[in-house]
Structure 1
Amino acid sequence: ARIRDNQRRSRARRKEYLQELEEKYRHCEQMGVEASAEIQAAARKVLDENKKLRAILQQRGLS
């Protein structure tokens, strides 16, 4: 009986541990998605700024 109880507790701990890991994984995955969106937005902003600056340089004959 004691062995079965130990096995049951061990399975319960393992299941809880796996659930925690899955939750951490989902959280990390979500953070990665948010970071990627922020990086893409920053890259678009830099591209737009570069286009404007190149247009200014071209207008002034400096390109």
Structure 2
Amino acid sequence: MSHTNTKYYYPYISPYDPCNPIVKKSYPTPPQLYLGFQPPNLPQFETAKEALYSGTLWPILYDKYKKHD
């Protein structure tokens, strides 16, 4: 199953809105939404420092939460 961590939607644009419209908006979704359950023997970060920096023990659950469009 393919997925992306960014979802997009197209808001209603009123003809009477005085501001420039934002045609396409986006929002991030966390990676754990697509995991379902924790499989056995899931790879872990190599060092405790990496895990603490990332906020999780498993790289599959780490997302940089970049700025989205």
The two structures have a TM-score, normalised by structure 2, of: 0.20
Q: Which has the higher contact order (CA 8 A, sep 6+)?
A: 2
The two structures have a TM-score, normalised by structure 1, of: 0.21
Q: Which structure shows the bigger proportion of residues in helix conformation?
A: 1
